[in-house]
Structure 1
Amino acid sequence: MIGGCAPIDAGGSGGGGSDGGARGDGGGSTGVNPLDNPKGTERGLGVIKSAKDLAEAIKIIEKVPTKGRGPKTGYDRDEFGYAWADNAEEIPLAHNGCDTRNDILARDGEKLKYRSGSNCVLVSMTLDDPYTSKTIEWTKQDASEVQIDHVMPLSYDWQMGASRWSRSKRVQIANDPLNLMPVDGSANSSKGDSGPATWLPPAKGIRCSYVVRFAQVALKYDLPVTAPDKDAMLTQCR
């Protein structure tokens, strides 16, 4: 319904999938195992722990093709559309009357509080950040404390083939919940447009899940990764 989005049902306050619960390096997690969340519509990023799931993670990563990074020439954030636009085609949560940023905050946050008279604009929430294991009490007054990470960075996408895409496809990957994660702002800033060979989340227990999500995005959009990045991805799940 276009007239405004209701709070997203992200599975309640507990964990989802088979790996909700404590992370391997401390801290609680309300995130869903990415193997159980192929569309990215469920909350967060849960730990992959079982031998069976680790084997499945390796299979997914092995499917991703490799090539060298192309030039960054011509890249601009605007090439992927207006930031957090609600008009992307054929992705979950789009065209619901709320901008993408608020959709993703609502997907992963708990204790959600909205601006008076709005079903979209969040003013505060609690976030269990998978990248750092921090619990962040976020308010809109300090909005940059939580940033929305493009798991597969848009500049990386551009260099790996998105420069040749239609604008509508670039808008899709920029707003696809599969490629978006609300996280600690300083951790996200340190990442830049790095691939997994040069940047991984500080919380070691989530790294296999992170690279699986990276692979899921690459496969959905038929994008390769660099050979060093693929090697690093495989290493995190072994």
Structure 2
Amino acid sequence: MKRRYPAMVASIAAAMATGWMMLSPGDDPTVSASPAPVVSANISELLSKVTVVDAIPQVPGYERGCGIDKKTKFRESCVFGPAWNDPLDHSGCDTRSRVLAAQLHDVQFKPGTRTCKVTAGWVHDPYTGQRITLEDIAVDHVVALRYAWDAGAWQWTPQQRAIFANDTDNLLAVDTRENSAKGDSGPSEWLPATGQCSYVIRFLSVAAKYQLAIADADRHAAMIACPAGAAS
């Protein structure tokens, strides 16, 4: 069953045409007149490359699953393609396995998988600083797929969305509980306990790379997380 939302999509497209591509942080009359934080050069440069909007609208049509919904019995839209299936990679190793192999320490592989299927390893969780092992590790999209969808990916082709979902620039091996706590949030709603500046730099770098809009609240959170002199 195909789900169409012509009126909603048309209104969002009109809003983007008239506002999203023109608005800059200084154009928003609702922004407080209090002095802006003095931010790091990295953040200033990245913020100059992204479109900032008042808020990211919720765009209908997002479905991550690729199977049959158990409740509705309808086939899910699978808008970012099958999980961990990179259309640009021909190694035969799925994206999640490649991320784990690249980011974990003391990695062990399942025999016969050509150093693909990771069976053991550990990492210092970039979100908590704690040492975690494979059974507690998830691979996180720093810019969550739902956030990306609402911020502009709904306009992309299925292949473009699949490329985004598997871009290792946007993927981190992290603690499963932190990954769940973060959910679809942007920096204004969730930041890691450690490495906040590094996190927002990665978030903004991905947003700039894919020309995704960010909410003004996320812009402000990024500026607070990366004051002048903060390590990148």
Asked if TM exceeds 0.5, the reply is yes
Equivalent in the alignment of 1:97: 92
Residues 86 and 163, structure 2, Cα contact 8 Å, conserved in 1: no
One of 196, 216, 231 as aligned partner of 2:220:
231
Q: Using the alignment, how far apart are the partners of 1:86 and 1:194 within structure 2?
A: 24
One of 136, 147, 150 as aligned partner of 2:138:
147
Q: Using the alignment, how far apart are the partners of 1:171 and 1:164 within structure 2?
A: 13
Q: Compared with structure 1, are the counterparts of its residues 86 and 56 closer, same or farther at alpha carbon in structure 2 (3 Å cutoff)?
A: closer
> Percent identity of the aligned residues?
39
* 1:84 and 2:73 matched: no
Equivalent in the alignment of 2:190: 199
Q: Using the alignment, how far apart are the partners of 1:222 and 1:202 within structure 2?
A: 27
Residues 86 and 97, structure 1, Cα contact 8 Å, conserved in 2: no
1:157 Cα deviation from its structure 2 partner = 0.7
Question: Structure 2 unaligned runs (5+)?
Answer: 1-38, 65-77, 228-232
* 1:125 and 2:130 matched: no
1:234 Cα deviation from its structure 2 partner = 1.3
1:100 Cα deviation from its structure 2 partner = 0.3
Larger Rg: 2
One of 54, 57, 62 as aligned partner of 2:40:
54
Residues 102 and 120, structure 1, Cα contact 8 Å, conserved in 2: yes
* 1:209 and 2:198 matched: yes
- For residues 70-102 of structure 1, the C-alpha deviation after alignment (integer angstroms, 9 at most, x for no partner) is 223110112000000032x3xxxx222100000
1:62 Cα deviation from its structure 2 partner = 3.5
Question: Structure 1 unaligned runs (5+)?
Answer: 1-52
* 1:169 and 2:151 matched: no
Residues 61 and 212, structure 1, Cα contact 8 Å, conserved in 2: no
Q: Using the alignment, how far apart are the partners of 2:153 and 2:133 within structure 1?
A: 35
1:167 Cα deviation from its structure 2 partner = 0.4
Equivalent in the alignment of 2:110: 115
- Number of residue pairs the alignment of both structures matches: 174
Amino acid at match of 1:79: V
1:213 Cα deviation from its structure 2 partner = 0.4
What's the RMSD between the two structures over aligned residues? 1.4
Q: Using the alignment, how far apart are the partners of 1:106 and 1:219 within structure 2?
A: 27
SS in 1 for 2:52: coil
- For residues 158-189 of structure 1, the C-alpha deviation after alignment (integer angstroms, 9 at most, x for no partner) is 11111111001100110000111110000010
Equivalent in the alignment of 2:61: 74
TM-score, structure 1 length as denominator? 0.70
Q: Using the alignment, how far apart are the partners of 1:185 and 1:58 within structure 2?
A: 31
Range that drifts further, 102-111 or 58-67? 58-67
Q: Using the alignment, how far apart are the partners of 1:224 and 1:180 within structure 2?
A: 19
Q: Using the alignment, how far apart are the partners of 1:234 and 1:195 within structure 2?
A: 13
Q: Using the alignment, how far apart are the partners of 1:176 and 1:207 within structure 2?
A: 21
Q: Using the alignment, how far apart are the partners of 2:162 and 2:121 within structure 1?
A: 27
Residues 86 and 162, structure 2, Cα contact 8 Å, conserved in 1: no
